A and B are shown apart, each in its own frame.
Chain A
């Protein structure tokens, strides 16, 4: 047994951390936060050059062909840096869907572009409020075209293509849902950016009007593929959340060491120390759940559905906990626009909803544990 990343993987994490510390300082994140750019194009280019965008994409499709453990360590650093780029939608959602269900031609068309930074992809799943559910998908597919509205779509306004979940049947079963691949620049799709709690990661409404679409995977297999994509993305996003948790904890710790009140560092007061200790506990539990998720993801283990749900819940809780208490440790300064605390708070709470809410994943976890118990 070795329940840890390898030295090479840790080295890659250090490389990513160093790269992001230089190319993605808080100043760069603020450019996007303040609405001066929809995402950090320079950073996106740099990530492609470093080989990070295609780290889990096989070499034959233009990637580095490293694997998902390597992607996990990079995801952690993306979360730590609060990187304002469409990494999660392109790499965890679109690329994973293509890898799972794409035809050879589809993979050849899009994966090299993802790896090189030429194409931004996303998953268009939600249609208004609610959690992932086949019943909630109304967008219609007919004769090779799609019609309907998707929102919120992460990074939908800057994406070049989307994996779209659409209705192809009306039996009331999961098999009514199929996936399609849509070139968003080919006409027939209108994108409208939506205001959201985390401006460093855009959300959009996509309106499809007889938009040309090609099937991704077999008709009727959409929900089954989606479930797998969401599980895989849940693990990867959980690593981002863990990276963000650690950063928020560090910010709180550093401030507690430097800030003097009542004649002593506030970090010497037990009320503050214990708050930070509890943040450390949350972050550690989340990290350990994530490691298990990483193992299940990288080996495609039968445990993946359960491991993904556990990682997702644990990491969501940890990031929310660490980011909100980081503000608390900072006191009034933590509530200013000028301090970075709110950027992590925003990201934590936006990420908590991206793949479906906490209560959705709680429900999923119990279902999956019961299934395993019954087996």
Chain B
């Protein structure tokens, strides 16, 4: 048990540090450092352009998608090297946010199911950030129950014709490509009639509409498909085997560990260290200290759980569903932390304008964004099911629609 770099790791760290030192866009460092959870804004600059430029620079020097094979634009690095890179990249890593889905989920799915020629064509520009990818799974009728999706793909000669609607697609508005899960046979039970494709988001018939979230912001989109044509050569996996393909995608999501999940704790601790209450500094208040200690051990527990997972990964063990706990714990914790930070501000906690609110309204923004974190990428309840079933070995839910042809499953609750 040790935290020291091996000589090889130390050499890798030194090389990474030197390269970042010489090449990172330092003019944005301060803003990136300060920017809050999932909301990076750069004044007077287009974040998309800055992010793409940094990614391209990294790719040209062999620092993009470290864990990918070299022939597809990666570096063939070890899991530990990836973590070392993330540590060294520091605040500049926030510029990678818009590539996470492409690099973490779409790319690995392409690697597993696309043809060799396609991989060589599509993966390097995905790695270098020149092309951005999105993942088109969720639908209005298929969220937690993603296999309940209704977007149809119908075979017409060498093509497939797509009609339907996706929702909650991150980054669809700036994406060049997407992986798309569709229904190809509604007469068989739901998991058995799905097929995966990849497509050009500029294809005729694709329409992207931003969703105005409950937080007032728009990070996600609805994507409509009207007679969109996809060549059969862009099918990933066998016809009607899309469910298994999607499991590969989701398994890879679990590989994308390392950076750690945002809990809001460092922000709260810093805030309490400077906040004055009526009776003195907040950090000296008994109740405040108790709450802080409880959040502190959750945050450190998650940090070290992730380090244990990296150690396991570096020994060749496969990442397991136990990594679901990061999202489960952090999601509700961010929400609690935000509520508590507002509570500490008393009546003025209600104010959210950057000029009136403490810490420029950071916690108010966190509060309004938090409900989404407990839903996106698997709700708290789905995460608990995953832990209960796949880690603890408890029985799956009784699925009343398991053997029912998809087109006979009820579509309405009351009435």
Interfacial chain B residues near A265, Cβ < 8 Å: 394-395
* A237–B83 alpha-carbon span in the complex (Å): 31
Q: Are B387 and A2 in contact (CB under 8 A)?
A: no
Question: Which single residue of chain A is at the shortest CB-CB distance from B387?
Answer: A277
CB-contact partner of B1 in A249, A294, A310, under 8 A:
A294
Q: Are B297 and A2 in contact (CB under 8 A)?
A: no
* A48–B383 alpha-carbon span in the complex (Å): 44
Given A69-B1, A273-B385, A289-B301: A3 in contact with B307 (beta carbons within 8 A): yes
* A3–B303 alpha-carbon span in the complex (Å): 12
Q: Is B289 an interface residue (CB 8 A)?
A: yes
Q: Are A314 and B301 in contact (CB under 8 A)?
A: yes
User: Which of the 9-residue segments B23-31, B96-104, B322-330, B361-369 touches chain A?
Assistant: B322-330
Given A4-B308, A268-B394, A289-B300: A273 in contact with B294 (beta carbons within 8 A): no
Q: Is B9 an interface residue (CB 8 A)?
A: yes
Q: Are B304 and A291 in contact (CB under 8 A)?
A: yes
User: Which of the 9-residue segments A36-44, A163-171, A223-231, A280-288 touches chain B?
Assistant: A280-288
CB-contact partner of A268 in B314, B322, B395, under 8 A:
B395
Give the most central of B297, B310, B387: most A CB within 10 Å.
B297
Q: Are B388 and A277 in contact (CB under 8 A)?
A: yes
Question: Which single residue of chain A is at the shortest CB-CB distance from B290?
Answer: A362
Q: Is A210 an interface residue (CB 8 A)?
A: no
Given A6-B1, A369-B269, A373-B273: A292 in contact with B304 (beta carbons within 8 A): yes
Binding site for A on B (CB under 8 A): 1-5, 9, 80, 83, 269, 273, 283, 286, 289-290, 292-294, 296-298, 300-305, 307-308, 310-312, 314-315, 322, 325, 328-329, 381, 383-385, 387-389, 391-398
Mark out the residues of chain A between 1 and 29 whose CB falls within 8 Å of any chain B CB in the assembled complex: 1-6
* A373–B394 alpha-carbon span in the complex (Å): 43
Interfacial chain A residues near B329, Cβ < 8 Å: 281, 285
Known: A264-B395, A285-B329, A313-B297. 16 other contacts (CB 8 A): A1-B4, A1-B9, A1-B310, A5-B1, A268-B397, A270-B397, A273-B388, A276-B388, A277-B384, A281-B325, A284-B305, A285-B305, A291-B308, A292-B304, A313-B294, A365-B296
Give the most central of B3, B292, B393, B397: most A CB within 10 Å.
B3
Question: Which single residue of chain A is at the shortest CB-CB distance from B329?
Answer: A281
Given A1-B4, A373-B273: A277 in contact with B398 (beta carbons within 8 A): no
Given A69-B1, A285-B329, A289-B300: A274 in contact with B381 (beta carbons within 8 A): yes
* A194–B308 alpha-carbon span in the complex (Å): 42
- The size class of the interface chain A forms with chain B is 35 or more
Interfacial chain B residues near A249, Cβ < 8 Å: 392
Q: Are A288 and B388 in contact (CB under 8 A)?
A: no
Q: Are B297 and A366 in contact (CB under 8 A)?
A: no
Q: Is A370 an interface residue (CB 8 A)?
A: yes
Interfacial chain B residues near A314, Cβ < 8 Å: 297, 300-301
* A313–B290 alpha-carbon span in the complex (Å): 11
Interfacial chain B residues near A131, Cβ < 8 Å: none
Q: Is A86 an interface residue (CB 8 A)?
A: no
* A274–B292 alpha-carbon span in the complex (Å): 26
* A267–B310 alpha-carbon span in the complex (Å): 31
- The minimal Cβ–Cβ distance linking A71 to chain B, given in whole angstroms, is 13
Q: Are B311 and A3 in contact (CB under 8 A)?
A: yes
* A313–B293 alpha-carbon span in the complex (Å): 8
Q: Are A288 and B1 in contact (CB under 8 A)?
A: no
Q: Are A2 and B1 in contact (CB under 8 A)?
A: yes
Q: Are A366 and B292 in contact (CB under 8 A)?
A: yes
Interfacial chain A residues near B396, Cβ < 8 Å: 268
* A253–B389 alpha-carbon span in the complex (Å): 11
Q: Is A298 an interface residue (CB 8 A)?
A: yes
Interfacial chain A residues near B305, Cβ < 8 Å: 284-285, 288
Interfacial chain A residues near B310, Cβ < 8 Å: 1, 3
Question: Which single residue of chain B is at the shortest CB-CB distance from A267?
Answer: B394
Q: Is A278 an interface residue (CB 8 A)?
A: yes
Question: Which single residue of chain A is at the shortest CB-CB distance from B272?
Answer: A366
A to B CB contacts below 8 Å, 6 in the list: A3-B310, A284-B322, A288-B300, A289-B297, A291-B1, A295-B2
Q: Are B385 and A270 in contact (CB under 8 A)?
A: yes
* A265–B302 alpha-carbon span in the complex (Å): 31
Interfacial chain B residues near A289, Cβ < 8 Å: 297, 300-301, 304
For the complex of A and B, the 8 pairs showing the least CB-CB separation, nearest first, are A285-B301, A362-B293, A288-B304, A273-B388, A277-B384, A277-B387, A268-B395, A267-B394
Q: Are A366 and B301 in contact (CB under 8 A)?
A: no
Q: Are A1 and B308 in contact (CB under 8 A)?
A: no
- The minimal Cβ–Cβ distance linking B264 to chain A, given in whole angstroms, is 16
